[in-house]
Structure 1
Amino acid sequence: MNCIRFYRSLIALALLFSGIGAGYAQQIDSMVNLYGERYPQEKIYVHFDKPAYNTGETIWFKSYLFAGIVPSPISKNFYAELVDQQGKVLQQKILPIYEGSSAGSFDLPANLPPTIIFRAYTTWMLNFDTSFLFSKTIRILNKTVAVAPAATTPQSGAKQTGAKQPATASQGGASSNPSSAVTLRFFPEGGDLVTGLESVVAVKVTDEFGLPVSAEGAIKEAAGATVATFGTVHDGMGRFTIEPQAGKTYYAEWTDEKKQTHKTPLPVAKQTGVVIQCAPTGSRQAFIIRRSQDAPEDLKTLYLLGYFNSQVVYKARLNLQQNFMVSGSIPLEGIPTGMLQMTLFDANWKPIAERINFVNKEDYFFTTRVVPIAKSTERRAKNSLVIDVPDTLKSNLSIAITDAGLSKADPDADNIVSHLLLSGDLRGYIHNPYYYLTGNDDTVRSHLDLVMLTNGWRRFKWDELEAGKLPVIKFPRENYLSLSATLTGVLPNQVPKNTQINVFLQAKDSSRQLFFLSIDSSGKFQQDGLVFFDTVSVFYQFNNNKYLANKSVVNFTNGTHKSPTLIKPDSAWRVPMPIDTSLLSRGKYFASEADRLRPELEKKIKTLETVTVKAKTKTKIQQMDERYTSGLFSGGDATTFDLTDDVAALGAMNIFTYLQGRVAGLQIQAGGGQTSLQWRGATPSLFLNEMPVDVTAIENIPVTDIAYVKAFRPPFFGAVGGGAGGAIAIYTKKGGDVSSNTSNIGGLDKSRLSGYAVPKEFYSPDYSKEVTNADLPDIRTTLYWQPYILTDKSNHKITLTFYNNDVSKRIRIILEGMNEEGQLTRVEKIIE
């Protein structure tokens, strides 16, 4: 699914424009392409460790961010929120995006409602239709589940209902049986029924939760004569054909799966108009367009536009002056898997019908093998897996290993394939969306086409495009965090040009960064592209300007979006379906065990704290790490070197010659007066006492002045850009304790600034070694979580080890991810 392959092979025109309308065509055509080039649409998928949680647990998540059909290079900040059903924001996390992905966690408090919403977005997405922000209902298992009245529930995901869409499907009324919450809705193909023209009409039958219901019935005239019959064929959806007659109205008389009878009126047919009918035929997308015999002049010349990923791939001028029908087909060569939209315009370029189609080239998958090499469901047994990606492309994966009873398949849930290719581009709820991508036979294609007919999709406001109006960008692209300073207390003309402010950022552990900020044209001082976590102290001083130092107040911000504490509830926040009884029982078991063990655990921790202080001594490396490192530099996946006791370091020309051959995967080449470093195909970031530096700043430092070195394996999030090449942190020797420097920087004003959410490390016990509290029952529901598994051509096999808890007899493994060209992978396995 290579985007370069797509963009270099846009479809040739099947029918050439000529005569009237060509000028408007150029306007619409160029505006659509401009929209796609300047305003690419991002979409998010989030991989959770499991679909439901108890209070007191941690939600672990990994996000994947796409723009079109490839990992998004646009946004650098990821926003995640927990929201209640009334729109109150309970928690928010801001995280850095690394190679189109990010990872984080939420700790759940004890006082939570039975359902909460996980909401995720980038600020770039806020510039467009917010219906496409990511949201998922999270179940809290150890609470009484409250179900809202059916009247408040969007039956098909109200991203679709209530929207003003001139060329989308019309809908019939609800059931006339007041005792039933089952609803039947009609979707004429292209948007409208037209008198005298045969049309395909899709039906969708749902219950109060928006879930599919089987039904069958008949379409009748007002007088009672049957003109068509229908039945649902897959997940509450079906279709029938009807040719409305002048002066007649129609209704459906139907029976649901519980044998209850209903009556629902059909949409009223327009007296004149145009209908479109589509059908895939192998390598082409065929269409038939019909108009009324007495259609006005503006319906006798039509224009058809086809576009994929906001790029025009087909355009045609259709002459219906003499004929009432025209047919054609769109060649699909060069179009990858995804949504193809067709919009039909009248002679004045007003949209009159719209149809979406799904092109399935089955080119979106890359192979990943998950092979258990040691497996057991015995108490605290060891399990080992090999993850093999036999590909030369870089891949970015995440894996969740959980108790299978608490991670049962959730019909509300997408996976990475179905969301990024299908449901993330559609309005409305799609039941079990992955089914439509498990095959490409005639049956699955027919069922998928019903989804296309019954779910709205709209990216463009055609009247605005025709007028040459483009989106207003209220939220510019973010480049990680900013150090932004605004002056108050002085007028803008009192701030001389080239004014500079000196700023120190100091973390809680005393690590510092120094910046020299100059005033910009807007009167602000700003440095973007920064990555720091938690809160930092900001010390600042004006450079040779006592007037500003005495008169002005400096306000610092980190440049991120400030979400309101209360947001408007989204109609896509569905009332969840009744919970599976076995899942509920399993969740309550784990919750009750956690409550039972909590007092004993707290008591044990207090006892262990006393014992640990007296009995345990720290290793020299642990002492060095505590003495020299801080924040993200503390701990982590790194190779460490204590040079204070290393005789070999004394003979090294510089620190790079010392490190050669000592760090697996790190390549160091010296020659021609230059030193170059590479790790997994990227250049490692370099830090001297946790401040970013370049090679020349380090290679001239005498090795005898260096106390401690840490080589962090890729990725390293403390580096600008996500640290794809890892990082090397070098610490020079110091005599006094670090804490002596943490109080202040003399003579400078001080402020505070928030950074990214502090990363939390997933705890996975190793029962082959000594484990704290090993005598207490192990009732972990998530046995293993690893949000970043990175592979490439030289490192395509990864071995993981985890241990079972005390109670799980069935273990579920779910691995998902993407590669650098946007292909996707998903593997699910059960150990039992």
Structure 2
Amino acid sequence: MNCTRLYRSLIALALIFTGLGAGYAQQIDSMVNVYGEKYPQEKIYVHFDKPAYNTGETIWFKSYLFAGIMPSPISRNFYAEILDQSGKVLQQKVLPIYEGSSAGHFDLPANLPPTIVFRAYTSWMLNFDTTFLFSKTIRILNKTVPVAPPGATAAKQPAGSKQGGAAAGSIPAAVSLRFFPEGGDLVTGIESVVAVKITDLYGLPVNAEGVIKDASGAAAAVFTTTHDGMGRFTIEPKAGKTYYAEWTDEKKQTHKTPLPVAKATGVVLQCAPTGNRQAFIIKRSQESPENLKTLYLLGYFNSQVVYKARLNLAQNFMVSGSIPLEGIPTGIMQMTLFDANWNPLAERISFVNKEDYFFTTKVVPVAKSTERRAKNTLVIDVPDTLKTNLSIAITDAGLTKADPDADNIVSHLLLSGDLRGYIHNPYYYFTGNDDTVRAHLDLVMLTNGWRRFKWDELAAGKLPVIKFPRENYLALNATLTGVLPSQVPKNTQINVFLQAKDSSRQLFFLAIDSTGKFKQDGLVFFDTVSVFYQFNNSKHLANKAIVNFTNGTLKAPAIIKPDTAWRVPMPLDTSLLNRGKYFASEAERLKPELEKKVKVLETVTVKARQKTKQQQMDERYTSGLFSGGDATTFDLTDDVSAMGAMNIFSYLQGRVAGLQINTGGGGSQLQWRGATPSLFLNEMPVDVSAIENIPVTDIAYVKAFRPPFFGAMGGGAGGAIAIYTKKGGDVSSSTTNVGGLDKSRLTGYALPKEFYSPDYSRESAQNELPDIRTTIYWAPYLLTDKNNHKITLNFYNNDVSKRLRIILEGMNEDGQLTRVEKIID
């Protein structure tokens, strides 16, 4: 085991706590430790197969869930959502978490906006600051991208900026400067470090240089950006003076920005890493109130106190010291300075880089070729005895060109996942540990806040309110309606059968609890299951009570408030954009040929005058205007793929040309040629809600009538979908009730989908189809241990790619991380 990962809190007492301060100290630092032990914060990183997509493609993803520096043992359910930038949920999936990870996919429909947001969380994370939920804005390549973020207009420029002329109809690239005094405040008469951060309208870094002047125009300091729009300068504010920056950006445009007003009295906290210790200097105003003459400094890592000191500034105006870093692993350490009454005065974060976070993984191409449909072989070797959990994506290199806007597993879990705000090119800070990289990383620490604690609440002993308790996978929750709680006898029990689509069954005996509800958690099932139930020896309840079943998961709201993290992606490299559009146009060009070959593959030879299965189903189920017609038909009585559909709308997704279906958190939404299709159940008009809860196994036949359908009200401009439930001869024994028991339906985890990887070494009619896959290979679970540390992967190239990019990421059981990136030419 790597002992440095299993650190213990280090407490170094600069002075012994005495009097009132010690009591408050015990309250504050013990509360911090309580937060760390009882309310650990989870964070998520998601590995995608590629950074951008075309409509009609599939997003493949693998999530890694951490609590502090270790794989999280807390949550069991993973929530993933696709949203538009207004916050509307387009699709949602709930997946089980195993060994701190989960994997899934989203199929992208045609009617997507130019950018979408992938958001992921656990229910436990919703109890705390939702700023730290995982979100990533994803570009849809074959869509027109707006020139500015939603809501941005030419009028919304930073105060004091002077923009040059812009092209007619375009939006000027607004540039803004922000100041970050070290510790939080400027104080009159104390020399302070001030960091600057300059960004454009998209939040991307801008280089600049400038002069700090007072109101009379006299220069007080100069600054220049040294890395990604960030820089620093020192200034000693004078009493009665205000200051502003006069600066020029990289396009030679001039700007004027005021500095924060300095406080008349106060304290300044300055920090600098020095080898295996974190040095600090604390200065106070010469004329200070009594509460600033005794100060307390608290250092904490991963919500555990690692340092606390009482600082006596009664006779001195400055004190210095250092925090030992032995036993503290790589990550962000926070320091907060309090006055004599334990009111927070200043805060500073610093990055401790022990370079202990990485484990070695070898990815060796044994056989490689980028010829058309050529075979490639990789060997993945993890020379370690610890269990590892890896994922690998192999894609067309032109679609995954190195993107500074992208995080990876190392930079996100160690840096950007713990900070507010956008971090540009975060992995750069892990490419070395020399003085230059450390100085640049310290600029990130100065310009990005970290505010996990509300100190007034901790001082009062207030703990967080847990609205969302920990989930133990899926649950079988039953509530009774139609009867009063007093009418439910004690020790009432419900006997419940869960029956999956493969006819497998589970039996549960649910006893009533003190709240009048029934619950069984710790369940894992996928898609939908039938629920059969009966009361145990209670005819009264059987006759009057209605039982409602839920699976215990959260339900996504129809609209989620947009987050500032949902930024418009940075402009794409032209070659990447062109490559994406090339694949989109090729897919569109080959679509008729593909459909033609698919139909040929599906052709069934029949005897003369013998009716097709479609004709038989049409005669058996349809009548009047629903008989015949211009329609796409689906016989579900012998369609194995229907068994895996969440509902009939998810089954129809992508199967009917022109029909657009979204199955988001607000319910299924349908559109065909700009209008909403009419819905019929057994030829009776119904709405969406009446159909989406019908088990697909109960449906025999579906006809999707192309617009217009004259059998619908208003002329049927959106076409129609007619759904027919099974009749006697088509009902299998697996879908019938169990012994006449009452029946319900329950939704489980999202159904897994296997990544299709063709094998061109074998003869197959499927191999005659054009191959323009952009993701050549995807494997979300590669597991190794001391007995199995090598994995061999075989995959075949597509018809067009000449350069392939391999990205492997993962973690081990000790919380260490790995990332390998290779190119196959």
Q: TM-score, normalised by structure 1?
A: 0.82
Which of 191, 196, 199 is matched with 1:203 structurally?
A: 196
Residue of structure 1 equivalent to 2:127: 127
Query: What's 1:40 paired with?
Result: 40
Asked whether 1:816 is paired with 2:806, we answer: no
Q: Is the 8 A contact 1:765 1:771 kept in 2?
A: no
> Which amino acid in the other structure matches residue 224 of structure 2?
G
Quote how far apart the aligned CAs of 1:252 are.
Answer: 0.9
Contact 2:7 / 2:329 at 8 angstroms: preserved in 1? no
Residue 791 (str. 1) matches residue 809 (str. 2):
no
Cα pair distance change 1:141/1:107, threshold 3 Å: same
2:135 counterpart letter in structure 1: S
CA drift of 1:509 comes to: 2.9
Matched, 1:348 2:341: yes
Q: Which amino acid aligns with 2:760?
A: Y
Aligned partner letter, 1:402: T
1:272 matched to which residue of 2?
Answer: 265
Q: Are 1:563 and 2:556 an aligned pair?
A: yes
Q: 1:498 to 1:475 in 2, by over 3 A?
A: same
Match of 1:458 in 2: 451
The alpha-carbon deviation at position 518 of structure 1 amounts to 0.9
How far apart are 1:9 and its partner, in Å?
Answer: 4.9
User: Which whole-Å deviations, capped at 9, do the CAs of 1:676-731 have from their partners, x for residues lacking one?
Assistant: xxxxxxxxxxxxxxxxxxxxxxxxxxxxxxxxxxxxxxxxxxxxxxxxxxxxxxxx
Counterpart among 177, 193, 198 of residue 162 in structure 2: 177
2:107 corresponding residue in structure 1: 107
Separation in 1, partners of 2:380, 2:440: 34
Counterparts of 2:14 and 2:810, CA distance in 1: 37
Q: Secondary structure at the match of 2:732?
A: helix
The residue correspondences of 1:2-17 to structure 2 (distance < 5 A) are 6-17=6-17
Distance in 1, Cα, partners of 2:195 & 2:175:
17
User: Root-mean-square deviation (CA), in Å?
Assistant: 2.2
Moved more, 313-322 or 490-499: 490-499
Query: How far, CA to CA, are the matches of 2:245 and 2:403 in structure 1?
Result: 32
Partner of 1:444: 437
Once the two structures are TM-superposed, the CA of residue 769 in structure 1 deviates from its matched residue by: 0.7
Moved more, 115-124 or 506-515: 506-515
Alignment deviations for residues 503-523 of structure 1 (CA, whole Å, 9 cap, x no partner): 111122322111111111221
Distance between the aligned counterparts of 1:481 and 1:202, measured in 2? 48
The whole-number CA distance in structure 2 between the counterparts of 1:365 and 1:294 is 49
Residues in 2 aligned to 1:311 and 1:305: alpha-carbon distance in whole angstroms = 10
User: Where does 1:83-482 land on structure 2 (aligned, <5 Å)?
Assistant: 83-148=83-148, 152=152, 174-179=159-164, 181-482=174-475
Contact 1:182 1:206 in 2 (8 A): yes
Q: Give the Cα–Cα distance (whole angstroms) in 1 for the partners of residues 487 and 14 of structure 2.
A: 63
Q: In the alignment, which residue of structure 1 is the partner of 2:71?
A: 71
Instruction: Tell me how far apart the structure 2 counterparts of residues 596 and 173 of structure 1 sit (CA, whole Å).
Output: 46
Q: Does 1:545 align with 2:538?
A: yes
Q: Could you say if the C-alpha distance between residues 276 and 474 of structure 1 is closer, same or farther in structure 2, counting changes exceeding 3 Å?
A: same
What does 1:634-783 correspond to in 2, within 5 Å? 739-783=732-776
Which one-letter code corresponds to 2:379 in the other structure? Answer: V
How far is the alpha carbon of 1:260 from its aligned partner? Answer: 1.1
Partner SS state of residue 46, structure 2: strand
Give the Cα separation in 2 of the matches to 1:280 and 1:613. Answer: 80
Q: Which amino acid aligns with 2:343?
A: K
1:150 CA drift (Å): 8.7
Which secondary structure does the structure 1 equivalent of 2:103 belong to? strand
Note if contact 2:161-2:176 (Cα within 8 Å) is conserved in structure 1.
Answer: no
Change (3 A) 1:116 1:26: same
| Aligned counterparts of 1:754 and 1:4: Cα–Cα separation in 2 | 43
Whichever residue aligns with residue 47 of structure 2, its letter is: H
8 Å Cα contact 1:150/1:208 also seen in 2: no
Provide, for residues 633-682 of structure 1, a one-character-per-residue CA deviation record: whole Å limited to 9, x for no partner: xxxxxxxxxxxxxxxxxxxxxxxxxxxxxxxxxxxxxxxxxxxxxxxxxx
SS in 1 for 2:211: strand
Helix, strand or coil at the partner of 1:417: helix
Please give the alpha-carbon distance, in whole angstroms, between the structure 2 residues aligned to 1:607 and 1:516: 52
**2: distance between equivalents of 1:403 and 1:23?**
61
Q: The residue matched to 2:805 in structure 1 has which SS?
A: strand
Residue deviations 1:512-553, cap 9 Å, x none?
A: 111111111221111100000011111100011101111110
Cα distance, 1:775 vs. partner?
2.9
- Please report how far the alpha carbon of residue 412 of structure 1 lies from its aligned counterpart in structure 2 after TM superposition: 1.5
Percent identity between the two aligned chains: 85
User: Cα distance 1:519–1:743, how it changes in 2: closer, same or farther (>3 A)?
Assistant: same
Which runs of 5 or more residues in structure 2 are unaligned? Answer: 165-172, 608-638, 646-729
Which digits, 9 at most, give the CA deviation of each residue in 1:285-343, with x for residues without a partner?
00000000001111111000000000000000110000000000000000000010000
Does the residue aligned with 1:361 lie in a helix, a strand or coil?
coil
Match of 1:519 in 2: 512
Q: What's the offset of the Cα at 1:151?
A: 7.1
CA offsets, 1:228-247, max 9 Å, x none?
11100110100000000001
- Partners of 1:521 and 1:107 in 2: how far apart? 43
**Closer, same or farther: CA 16–437 of 1 in aligned 2, 3 Å:** farther
Structure 1, 566-575 or 397-406: larger mean CA deviation? 566-575
Letter in 2 for 1:752: R
| Aligned amino acid, residue 493 of structure 1 | S
Describe the SS at the equivalent of 2:496. strand
Aligned partner of 1:339: which letter? I
In the superposition, relative to structure 1, how do residues 808 and 757 fare at CA in structure 2: closer, same or farther (>3 Å)?
Answer: same
1:509/1:631 contact within 8 Å kept? no
Distance in 1, matches of 2:214 and 2:384, equals: 60
Q: Tell me, in whole angstroms, the C-alpha distance in 2 between the residues paired with 1:54 and 1:484.
A: 40
What SS is found at the alignment partner of 1:33? helix
Task: Write the letter of the residue equivalent to 1:13.
Answer: L
Cα deviations by residue, 1:476-513 (Å, 9 ceiling, x for unpaired) = 00000001100111111221221111111112232211
CA distance in 2: counterparts of 1:543 and 1:343, whole angstroms:
60
Shift in Å at residue 174 of structure 1?
4.5
CA–CA distance in structure 2, aligned partners of residues 459 and 612 of structure 1: 68
- Looking at structure 2, the residues matched to 507 and 20 of structure 1 have their Cα atoms a distance apart, in angstroms, of 63
Distance in structure 2 (CA, Å) of the matches to 1:759 and 1:493: 43
Task: Report the counterpart of residue 502 of structure 2 in structure 1.
Answer: 509
Counterpart amino acid of residue 540 in structure 1: Y
Give the length in aligned residue pairs.
Answer: 700
Structure 1: distance between partners of 2:124 and 2:323: 32
Quickly say closer, same or farther: Cα 1:151–1:191, change in 2 above 3 A: farther
2:160 & 2:813 partners in 1: Cα distance? 48
More deviation, 397-406/219-228: 219-228
Give the corresponding residue for 2:700. none
1:214-269, Cα deviation, whole Å (9 max, x unpaired): 11111111111111111001101000000000011111111111111111111110
Displacement after TM superposition at 1:110 (Å): 0.4
Task: Kindly provide the amino acid, as one letter, of the partner of residue 106 in structure 2.
Answer: F
Give the aligned residue type for 1:588: K
Name 2:59's counterpart in structure 1: 59
In structure 2, C-alpha distance between the alignment counterparts of 1:441 and 1:488, rounded to whole Å:
67
Using a 3 Å threshold, how does the CA distance of structure 1 residues 224 and 378 change in structure 2: closer, same or farther? same
Q: TM-score, normalised by structure 2?
A: 0.83
DSSP 3-state at the match of 2:740 = coil
Aligned AA (2:272): A
**How many Å separate the matches in 2 of 1:120 and 1:235?**
28
How far residue 5 of structure 1 moved from its aligned partner, in angstroms, is 5.4
Following TM superposition, by how much is the alpha carbon of 1:71 offset from its aligned partner in structure 2, in angstroms? 0.3
Cα distance in 2 for partners of 1:613, 1:596 equals 32
